[in-house]
Amino acid sequence: MPWIDACATDDIDQEDLIRFDHAGATYAIYHGVDGQFYATAGTCTHEHVHLCDGLVMDFMIECPKHNGQFDYRTGEAMRAPVCVNLKTFPVRVDGSRVMIEVS
């Protein structure tokens, strides 16, 4: 699986996320409250809405459209109207770069 250079570590404020598009796919990269970086699919599983405009609270990402929530560490759907889990991707930090492993 290829590792992709997604962004710099200081591109994302702590407890926030950004959108990252690559090879026709869209991802969400998070800078968690624990200082770690995480990556999930970029759009909500309820309707095709980009999560990058949503709100990060602790380890939750809340979708901007209907306030569905996912745990961005595991992708687990935590609050209606989302029922289907979000895909997650491995992340590693190389120096000041955030790398994600896309499948």
Partner 1 sequence: MGKRDYSPFGADAKRAVESGLTAAEWYHTEVPRKVMKDLMARSDSPAIRDTIVLYGLMLAFAAGGIATWGSLWTVPFWLAYGVLYGSASDSRWHECSHGTAFRTPWMNNAVYQISSFMIMRNPATWRWSHARHHSETYLVGRDPEIAVMRPTEVAKLILNFFGILDVLKFFPTLVRNALTGPTPEEKTFVPESEWPKVQRAARIHLAIYLATAAFVVATGSILPLMVIGLPRIYGAWHHVMTGLLQHGGLADNVIDHRLNSRTVLMNPISRFIYWNMNYHVEHHMFPMVPYHALPRLHQAIKDDLPAPNLSIAAGFAEMWPALRRQMRYEDFFVKRDLPPTAKPYREDFHQDVPGIMPANAAE
Provide the binding-site residues for ligand FES, judged by CB under 6 A: 44, 46-47, 49, 63, 65-66, 68, 81-82
**Contact flag: residue 8 with partner 1 (CB under 8 A):** no
Rounded distance, CA 23 to CA 103, Å? Answer: 11
Q: Which stretch binds partner 1 (CB under 8 A): 1-9, 24-32, 42-50, 94-102?
A: 42-50
Strand 25-31 with 16-22, pairing: antiparallel
**Residue with structure tokens 């250079």?**
5
Q: What angle do CA 24, 79, 31 make, to 5 degrees?
A: 55
- What residues make contact with partner 1 under the rule CB under 8 A? 16, 46-48, 53-55, 57, 62, 64-67, 69, 79-81, 83
